[in-house]
Amino acid sequence: MSNDVETHTRVRLTSRWLEVDGARCIPVSGELHYSRVPRRRWEEELRLLVASGITMVSTYVFWIHHEREQGRVRFDGDLDVAEFIVTADRVGIDVVLRIGPWAHGESRNGGLPDWVLATAPSTRQDDPTYLALVQRWFERLGEQVGHHCGPDGRVVAIQLENELYDQPTHITTLKRLARGAGLSAPLWTATAWGGALLPPHEVLPVYSGYADGFWADQGSGWDDSFRDHFTFSHRWDDPGVGADQRAAGLEVVVRDLDPEFPPATCELGGGMATAYHRRPVARGEDIAAVANVKLGNGSVWQGFYMYAGGTNPEDHLQESHATGYPCDLPRFDYDFQAALGATGLPGPGMAALREHNAFVGAFGDRLADMGSTLPDGAPVDVHDLATLRWAVRSDGRSGFLFINTHQPHQPLSGHTDVQLRVGLDEEELLVPDQPVDLPSGLVARWPLQLDIEGVRLQWATASVVGLVPGAPPTLVLRAEAGVPARLLLAPGSTGELDGRQVALGMTPLELLPGGVLVVDGRLRILLVDGEQVGRLWFLDGQLVDSVHPVWSDRGRLTARAAEQPAVARWSGRCFEPVALTPTGHPVLRPVQVTRVREPSDPPARYGHHAGRSSAPSDEQLDAVAGVWQLPPLHPGDVGPGALLELLVRWEGDVAQLRADGVPVADRFWDGREWRIDITALPPQAVLTLHVAPLTTRTVVDLDPVAEARRREAAVLCAVLGVELVGSVLWQETGRGGADGSGAGEPAQETSASSADQVRQ
């Protein structure tokens, strides 16, 4: 790959790590499907990916989205993949193309057009008829994006097929066809989970890890394949992902890591889709725990699927029982509970992933050269809830200690009087110096002999978050809930606190959140609590506190909000408010809806396939749904770049938004609110909400919180509230443009903590 055949000026692969621009690194990729996101939002969402620590954007190229009818290939509008790559280049983020041609991604036929299935007797193998169709498709794709490949192109990786388990020769054939069509990249990848047989030397095996999955059988509960990702181990294969798509009788042989390649995780669950029969809820702490465990296990590529949700570009392009697939997915909705939801605004996992990515971005060059070690007596049984789960990544001189006591559904035990013994090349550390209690729910990464600018942090019982450049730089640590944040500096260090000198290195210090310690004049250490860390953004060398999404364009901050955002920038001493000016007129007001039809009693099942309940058809929905009419919305002149959303709080089974009687959005209920981008809808369209009732008889599997609500109410069918939200861009004032010089003037108070507090 990168080192011999398709060399790249920036990207290179070794058997232990990836190199970018000549330096070891741990890339962080985030999945965003350009054909599921309106083109008008591409640049903003890519900037938000970069703002949250993503270094590569990964995207499926769904054949069925581009060529619904044979010979009529579209690359216009929201399907302009070449322009998507141009936008990524402008933003400064690398691109991973997942070209399939079978892609899955919960798309119809796995992304193969209907006419391909009708024309080719055998797909996903070296059948001449199928290969001829694939070759023509790759040639058309190559005409569009081939010039973005090559030694200095933004396309740095290409994935072939997806979840193909027993056809290594076919993967080699697809690579040959793609290269013949002008597609190239320094990295060629293929999914290795499920015991997949991959062609030697041809593709980098990539792995996965999800906290839960919609694809499990109805009534199966929380499978062991999900539990496994909360346990530190050196097993990379995952027999659970894609199990519902495997051919009947295919034996899964869990395989060891190929020593020729480093362990790469391209699909860590950044959220989760909702199937009709099974509706797991992805929570930020679950996502953070899986990512932290994989990093502790030795991962050198952190990839999140999805990182940005979206909406199918047309109706009936989803995986469904009607096309023979085992799951019914929503027809439009692909929010995926992702870090960026379907409307492009932060979702449940954003804060946790932003913190995780900041750590990888600051210390990935060191981590890449650090092996993973598990302690003696590490739990090997995923049902062992009592043994402490921890691991160390170290180069023998320094490292990081990873701890996980968080797990959904079956919580892990807390631990009392804990001290961990870590052996390095020249010494043995006992961390901490005195026993400490570790509560259940901890996701931690503690520093070990960490050197920054000549300052050595021997250890800390607080998680490393990130590093902010400056004179001196600022190391950000997060206090663990229920654990005193204690730090031990190297002997001989001196500290400055409130203008006075304090001796360091003899005994540990205990910092309080908000505390700022300056060590030897070379390093600031800022301790934040769990609430504040969820608001922090590491942007172009700046540390920004904002509850609203914010990004930097050459040093100038931009936020999106439907109200005055409170944004503050770290000055090196405290967080100072930033003045922001709106580019339009935000809207935030309730919408009074009128119920125009009462619901009726639904059946326990509308149908079933492969033992799993089927979603209702439009006709079945109309027979039972309650209907609510929305008044004309009249948002007014909100200005350029505005995002208009409906925020719908509802309860029921299935909901549709219809415009002039035609479905334009849908959702399966799992207890979460529903945000719908209506920016492009005609302002004169008549909007109605159609909600099918959910009863205790309805055969669907719900998240425990949603299930408790169902049992409490017996029947759920209501629109609880609707808001019209028109968010606009807010741009920093009083700061230089291209060079990012100049300071913003305070505009409003901020709740960001800035007190200097320490207890010795």
For residue range 553-570, list pLDDT tens digits in order. 888 999 999 999 999 999
CA pair distance 666, 654, nearest whole angstrom: 7
749 pLDDT band, cuts 50/70/90, is very low
CA pair distance 693, 286, nearest whole angstrom: 30
532 and 638 co-located in one domain? no
502 pLDDT band, cuts 50/70/90, is confident
129 and 182 co-located in one domain? yes
Residue 636's pLDDT is 87
323 inside domain? no
735 inside domain? no
Q: Phi-psi category of 189—alpha, beta or left, where left has phi over 0 and alpha has psi -120 to 50? A: beta
pLDDT at 757 over 60: no
Residue 736's pLDDT is 55
Strands 523-528, 474-479: pairing kind? parallel
414 and 342 co-located in one domain? no
Answer for the pair 565, 730: CB distance below 8 angstroms, yes or no: yes
Cα-flanking dihedrals φ and ψ of residue 265, to 5°?
Answer: -115, 105
Residue 256's pLDDT is 85
Task: Count CB neighbours of 328 within 10 A.
Answer: 26
CA pair distance 729, 745, nearest whole angstrom: 18
| Amino acid making up residue 717 | C
516 and 610 co-located in one domain? no
111 vs 6, residue with greater confidence? 111
Residues contacting residue 548 through CB under 8 Å, at least 6 positions apart: 559, 560, 561, 565, 567
CA pair distance 85, 164, nearest whole angstrom: 27
Residue 743's pLDDT is 34
253 vs 632, residue with greater confidence? 632
pLDDT digits (tens, 9 = 90+) for 691-741: 999 999 999 999 999 999 999 999 999 999 999 999 999 999 976 543 333
Residue 756's pLDDT is 31
Which of 258-267, 368-377, 494-503, 674-683 comes out lowest in average pLDDT?
Answer: 494-503
692 inside domain? yes
The residue assigned the tokens 């070379």 is 522
SS3 state of residue 175: helix
Which of 78-87, 470-479, 500-509, 589-598 comes out lowest in average pLDDT?
Answer: 500-509
CATH classification at residue 704? 2.60.120
Residue 500's pLDDT is 75
CA pair distance 647, 725, nearest whole angstrom: 7
325 inside domain? no
511 and 616 co-located in one domain? no
Exposure string over 498-507, b if 16+ CB within 10 A, otherwise e? eeeebebbee
458 and 360 co-located in one domain? no
610 pLDDT band, cuts 50/70/90, is very high
322 inside domain? no
170 pLDDT band, cuts 50/70/90, is very high
Residue 735's pLDDT is 66
Residue 2's pLDDT is 62
CATH classification at residue 225? 3.20.20.80
Task: Give me the chain's average pLDDT, please.
Answer: 93
537 has which bridge partners? 544
Residue 238's pLDDT is 83
Is the CA virtual torsion 736, 740, 743, 749 positive or negative? positive
283 and 423 co-located in one domain? no
Cα-flanking dihedrals φ and ψ of residue 471, to 5°?
Answer: -125, 90
743 inside domain? no
Containing structural domain, residue 714: 587-730
pLDDT at 241 over 90: no
Residue 1's pLDDT is 65
For the chain, the domain total comes to 3
562 inside domain? no
64 and 87 co-located in one domain? yes
117 and 135 co-located in one domain? yes
pLDDT at 304 over 60: yes
407 and 543 co-located in one domain? yes
744 inside domain? no
Residue 250's pLDDT is 67
645 and 710 co-located in one domain? yes
33 and 177 co-located in one domain? yes
CA 17 distance to own-chain centroid = 22
Please state the rounded mean pLDDT for residues 533-545: 97
CATH classification at residue 434? 2.102.20
Please state the rounded mean pLDDT for residues 629-642: 92
Residue 651's pLDDT is 98
